[in-house]
Structure formats: structure tokens, C-alpha cells
Chains A and B, each alone.
Chain A
Amino acid sequence: MSETPAPILVEAIGLTKFFNIGRGQIVHAVDNVSLQVHEREIVGLVGETGSGKSTLGKALIGLHDKTSGSVRYRGQTLPLKYGPEDFREQAKRAQMIFQDPYSSLNPRMTVGEIIGEGLKLNSSTSANDVREQVAEWLRRVGLEPDHMSRYPHEFSGGQRQRIGIARALIMGPEFVVCDEPISALDVSVQAQVINLLDDLKASMGLTLLFIAHDLSMVRYVSDRVAVMYLGSLVEIGPANKVFFEPKHPYTQLLVGSNPEPDPRTEHRRRSTLIKGEIPSPINVPAGCRFANRCPHVMDVCRQVTPILHVPKDETVSDRQVACHLY
């Protein structure tokens, strides 16, 4: 956590993304989310499948149109729906690393074409320079320059993820959305990729939004952690605070469900108190979205939607919780 607050790089204000799936049904994927990401900060975004974390990440960099609300980049408001020019402009500033290193690389393109495509489309770099930069990036991510002429199927999962990283970073972005970059990888390879991202973050001064469901890894990687449930943020604060002293009942459930690789801790763990599963994000009712599973539910929870605020008993105002308990 940086002591002096760095300027805000990316800011979502009341960002909302609904998907209309017909017959009057609307999926509330991201509902009125406000989030600030400071320069050179790593913000972790956690939540279960269907909580809207990937949609939020994509909406931030324009891969999804926004239903309402806005995204500001260095104070400049970005359009609700990107045109071709906007994409070209944004590609140089914001990039994305995808979850699945198997389906996110075109199997018919060589690694050199995949990594160099962005440069070729977005700048007047000559073909020769593109090749040189691709070679340089292959080295930086721990591969060999002569891998350029190979196809994705010749690489392992960890190597493919390195290719995905090179493709995103060759554009020299400031802001990178990492959408579960390590969840498809084995434990020993996860650490390799995390360390690589850490080095590149330091050398390029990157700002990252790190989306994942592995809580231990998110805590380790991030400066701040944001927790999402059914399209809204329920808690945000310094990583260690959110992980070790969670406030929101949902964060408590999430942290309490995360198995630690330590038998003594695990044998002391009580069984899960909260039953049930994440409800459907279609036509969500008013009030707190966690109300029907919450062990501390009150009458007010079913009527008034809680907003993110600093808890009353908090001495430092670096954490916010959307819960009527605080």
C-alpha cells in the first residue's frame, strides 16, 4: 500500500452493465459499481462465478459497452460505447490478459503474429521493427526469440500465458486487466507467472486490476482487494485487512471457505455456516443482494440497498463496506 495516495488512473462511477436476454429478463451483471484504481496500484477483484468481476474488468477497458455510468481514465471520461478510433486510442493505454491460455490464442497464427498484431495495427512501426520488438518481448517473458515462428499448440499452459502477457504488454500500456491469469495453471507454474508479472509491473510501472477467485493469491499480489457479489461491490480495502479482518458477512464467508495448505488450521476450521448458493443475477430484488443467505440479516436489509461506506468503528478510512451492520 502506497503511503501517499497516488493520482487516480482509472475510475468507475456508477458503472452499470445489464444484458438483455429477451422476454423482459435482464441480467444485472454489474450494477452501479464505483471503483478507483490509483497509479501503480494492484487492485484485486474477487467473487464467485457470476458475480460480474470479468464483466466489470471488460467494461473498464471498453470491451463491453456500458449500460450507464462512466469510466474515467486520467480524469477524461471515456465513451459509453467504443468506436474503432476509441479502441485504437485505448489499446495503447489499457490491455487485458485473459484467463484461458488455450482459447485466447488463435491456433492458426504464429506466436510472432499474435504478439505483433497489436503493434502492426496501432502504430506505424515497420515490419522489421515489429519483429525486433516481438523478439525482445519473448525474451522478457522468458521465452526464446526463435519461438516466434511456432504455433500456440507447441507450448505448455504456462508458456502460453507468457505469450498472452507479451501480447498485452508489447503495446506499452499503463493499465492492465488480468482476468484470472493463473487459474488454469499448475501451482509451480503459477508462481513463475506471478513473479514475472511482478517484475514487469516494477519495470514498466504498471497499474493492474487482478481478477481471481484464489483468495490467498489475490491477497499476496494485491495492494487493495475489492469483493464482488451479484454485480455489486460489497467490500473494498487494503488486502491484508480484507483478508484477515473481513467485515462484510459475505467476505467472511468467502475467507472462511478458503482452504489453507496447513492441516492444523484446517482441522480447527468449523464447517461452513452459510448454506445456499449465489442466486441468479436475473431481475434481482431490491435491498441487499446477500440478504437471503446472510446469517445477520435484519429487516432493513430487504428494503434498503446498502451503499459502500467507511464502517463507524474503523479508525482509518481506508476500507469501505456495503452492509447495514456497520
Chain B
Amino acid sequence: MSERDVVLEVEDLKVEFDTYGGIVHAVRGVSFQVRQGETLAIVGESGCGKSVTMQSIMGLIPMPPGRITSGTAMYRGQDLIRNKYLGGRDIRGSAIGMVFQDPMTSLNPTMTIGDQIAETLQVHRGFSKSQALARAVELIAMVRIPDAAKRASQYPFEFSGGMLQRSMIAMSLACEPSILIADEPTTALDVTIQAQILDLLMDLQKEKGMAIVLITHDLGVVARMADDVMVMYAGEIVESGTIDDVFYRGAHPYTMGLRAAMPSRELGARQRLTPIDGSPPDLFSPPSGCGYFARCPQAMRMCQAQHPYLMSVGTAHHSRCWLQHPDSTRQVPGLSIPHLGSVPVQS
């Protein structure tokens, strides 16, 4: 992990939701850092809390029923959980930009694309309408939409899915944010368009030096984009580290399970996938021990009783698994997935 400046530092974030069924403990104590110019990928399945984590930092969860019960998110010496304004201006949409999953429903269908991008600049930067529109056209060109001037005066229905996502990126970058949060930015797109959007994000990051927080469930996208990876399960981080740590020196049975459940290039046609049996735990009453206990092929008795903490397994590599405890007598799990071959274990 490099020594670049930390732009966002989140400590012990906990988020709950009141529902008719009781309180859902959606995020249960998440801490992480985002570094300038780097991409942090948050990976996990539906309902693991990856989106809620970033949405609660951005103040995008409805409260009530949502509630942030603990935690800080420090951005330039200021806690974003408590104060979203810096120098009298809302940091959301200016210092921190956000790209949402579904570009078809996240844009206003009754405003032209140019106006929607210009609005950001008028609100956050105090541009005049004509200044903002001129800049919007430049931004549309920057995300490589041909014919920018003409496109700026068109409505979302006249755009394809890929171009709408480009427009969303243009909008989120209008105020030159230092952090861009991309929540499943390519999930609704076809692979060829996905590849174009990922290329665009990487190029823009190189150009502008912004940090990217990429929320996704697709390990292929992670492998392509991320510098650091954080794997979430049942509202917690179960493993975090550099991309190589997590992909080649995986130290949590859940991470290993996800890899084994996907067909890899090496997997022959008649070998079977190894699914993760069962389903994630109920977050109304999270288990007192390890959240992954019920599905874990390496589970031990203590995993049910004792909640594991994030243990250090490398320089910047952590795993929330009792097998990684110095006193554990068992070998680190799952590192020889049949079709992936064995992976050298870092002590």
C-alpha cells in the first residue's frame, strides 16, 4: 500500500434501520481509508451493507428510518457525519461526486442533459447560467460523447445507456471532486460498454488525480480497477488489503468462497463450481459469533461463540477470521481451491 495522502478516513461506522420487522443492523462497525489518486473497491453481495456505508457518509439514507449510531468520516479535518458543509458549501456534489447504478432512473427526464450538468455548477460554484452551460458542453466532450454541443440540448430519452452513464460521470466531475463514489456504475450496462466506461474512469482518474470508491459485486471489475479492496459481509469488513493481497493471498473463507463460485479461465467444462451454501444471516439479530459461521466450510466451535476481530495477516492486509489468530492450530483455509491451484500463504 502506498503512502499517498488519506482523503477520507472512516472510523467505526454503524448504521441501523427501523422496520416493521425490527431494527436492521445494516452496517456494523466499518473503518477504512481512501487515498488520493487511488481506487478502493468495496465488494460484497446484495444486502452486505456496501452501498449503505457510502450513502450514510454522503447523508443519502433517509433518517428516519435510518440512523447512524456511531462513527466518524473525516474529510480535511472535518467529520462528514456531523457536518456536510465546508466553507458554507455542501461538499456533496462538489468535493465528493457520486455516480449511481442506474443512469436511466437517476437523471431527470424533463431536463436536458446540458441543464442537468450545468445545475451542479450553478449551485456549487455560483456560475451564471451561460457560463455553466458552456462548461457543461466541455464536460460532455471530456467524457467522449461526440457532438457535445448538440447533445447538451437533448433529453435523457435520446441517449443510450452508455451515454447516460457518461453524462452522469460528467455531472459528478463538474466540480472537480477529490473523491468520486461510483456505486455499481456498470452493472446495468453490457460488457462492451462497461469496458468503455471503466477505461474512461481510469483515464479521468489519471488526469485529475481523484480518489475513486468503487462499489461493486463483480470481481472482474475489481480486478481491473482497484488498488485496494475491502470485502464486506453481513454489514462488516471481513477482509481488506491491496488487490494482490485479496486476490492472490486471500485470507478469509468468504473471499475464497466467492472466487471458487466463479468460473475461471482455467476451469474445465466438466469441473463443478463450488457454491457457497445457504444464505447470509438475518441482520435483524446478527449472530453473536462470526457472521459467516453458518456457511463457512472451515467453521470451528469458537466461531459460533466469539465474534472475530480484524486480524493483521500482512502489511496492510486484514482478515476477520479466527483461523488467522496466532493461536490457531488449523491451517489457513481454502487456499487450495481445486481449480485455482494452491496459492502461497503469506505468514
Residues of A within 8 A of B (CB): 48-49, 156-158, 186-192, 194-195, 198, 213, 215-217, 219-220, 223, 239-240, 253-254, 256-263, 265-266, 269, 271-272, 274-275, 277-278
Contact = CB atoms under 8 A, between A and B. Distances in A.
Contacts of B196: 272, 275
Contact of B277 (A190, A192, A259, A260): A192
Interface residues of B, number: 45
B261 A262 contact: no
- The interface centre, meaning the residue of B45, B192, B222, B226 with most chain A CB atoms within 10 A of its CB, is B192
B192 A191 contact: no
Contact of A277 (B193, B274, B276): B193
A188 B269 contact: no
11 contacts: A186-B46, A187-B217, A187-B262, A216-B262, A216-B265, A259-B224, A262-B264, A262-B265, A263-B224, A275-B196, A277-B160
Nearest to A250: B192
Contacts of B161: 49
A191 B221 CA distance: 19
A160 B222 CA distance: 28
Given A49-B190, A257-B191, A277-B160, 9 more contacts: A156-B279, A194-B273, A198-B272, A259-B195, A259-B198, A260-B220, A265-B223, A272-B195, A272-B196
B261 A220 contact: no
- The interface centre, meaning the residue of B162, B221, B265 with most chain A CB atoms within 10 A of its CB, is B265
Interface in B220-265: 220-224, 226, 243-244, 247-248, 257-259, 261-265
A191 B223 contact: no
B134 interface: no
Interface string B160-173: 11110000000000
B262 A261 contact: yes
Nearest to B188: A49
Contacts of B192: 48, 253-254, 257, 272, 274, 277-278
Given A48-B190, A257-B192, A263-B223, A272 B277 contact: no
A272 B196 CA distance: 6
Contacts of B261: 187-188, 190-191
B275 interface: yes
B33 interface: no
Contacts of A272: 192, 195-196, 199
A192 B273 CA distance: 8
A191 B224 CA distance: 22
Contact of B267 (A220, A262, A269): A220
A257 B195 contact: yes
B150 to A, nearest CB: 17
B124 to A, nearest CB: 31
Contacts of A263: 223-224, 226, 243-244, 247-248
A45 to B, nearest CB: 15
Contact of B218 (A156, A254, A259, A262): A259
A295 B280 CA distance: 46
Contact of A240 (B199, B226, B269): B269
B219 interface: yes
- The interface centre, meaning the residue of A198, A253, A261 with most chain B CB atoms within 10 A of its CB, is A261
Interface of B: 45-46, 160-163, 190-196, 198-199, 217-224, 226, 243-244, 247-248, 257-259, 261-265, 267, 269, 272-277, 279
A258 B279 contact: no
Nearest to B265: A260
B263 A260 contact: no
Contact of B191 (A186, A187, A215, A277): A215
Contacts of B267: 220
A81 B219 CA distance: 44
Contacts of B222: 261
B191 A254 contact: yes
Given A220-B267, A253-B192, A261-B222, A191 B276 contact: yes
Contact of A187 (B45, B198, B248): B45
B276 A188 contact: yes
Contact of A261 (B190, B193, B198, B264): B264
Contacts of B217: 186-187
A266 B223 contact: yes
B265 to A, nearest CB: 6
A220 B269 contact: yes
B221 A259 contact: yes
Nearest to B44: A186
B282 to A, nearest CB: 11
Contacts of B220: 216, 258-261, 266
Contacts of B257: 188
Contacts of A256: 195
A191 B247 contact: no
Contacts of B243: 263
A111 B203 CA distance: 49
Contacts of B191: 48, 213, 215, 254, 257-259
Nearest to B198: A259
Contacts of A259: 191, 194-195, 198, 218, 220-221, 223-224
B275 A188 contact: yes
Contacts of B279: 156, 158, 189
Nearest to A47: B190
- The interface centre, meaning the residue of B193, B219, B220 with most chain A CB atoms within 10 A of its CB, is B220
Contacts of A189: 275, 279
Contacts of A217: 263
Contact of B223 (A158, A187, A223, A260): A260
B112 to A, nearest CB: 20
